Amino acid sequence: MKTQLVPLNTLLNNEEIGAIPGFPALIGDRKVTVTAVLERTVVYEPAAGEPRQLARIGDTMVDPAHVKLRQLDNPAVAARRAAKRGVEASRHRERAA
């Protein structure tokens, strides 16, 4: 049975859903590994040792069974968490000095 590939953006149709990197994809006629998923693009490695490149999410064809999805944080919640981590790191540096 042949696997049906779909554009990655069809899986990420909700801005609260993200894909966990590290899955195989087809971009053009090249089999690649996606190493990062950004807002409108993906970062991929064509082969081990080759430089990473960018492609549009809509041009990235994937097998849905190989893509793990995750719930993204609300941007406001994510910003508060990042600020808290920064404050905690600053306090840790002050104690260490």
Q: Which residue has the higher pLDDT, 92 or 33?
A: 33
Cβ pair 67, 7 in contact under 8 A? no
- Largest pairwise CA distance in the chain: 63
Confidence (pLDDT) at 90: 74
Confidence (pLDDT) at 95: 78
Q: Which residue has the higher pLDDT, 52 or 79?
A: 52
pLDDT average, residue stretch 10-21: 85
Say which range, 26-30, 52-56, 80-84, has the weakest mean pLDDT: 80-84
35-69 pLDDT, tens per residue? 999 888 999 998 888 899 999 999 999 999 999 99
Task: Please give the model's pTM, rounded to 2 decimal places.
Answer: 0.70
Listed in order, strand segments (DSSP E) in 1-97 are 6-7, 17-19, 23-27, 30-37, 41-45, 53-56, 60-62, 69-71
Confidence (pLDDT) at 47: 85
Residue 27 has pLDDT above 70, yes or no: yes
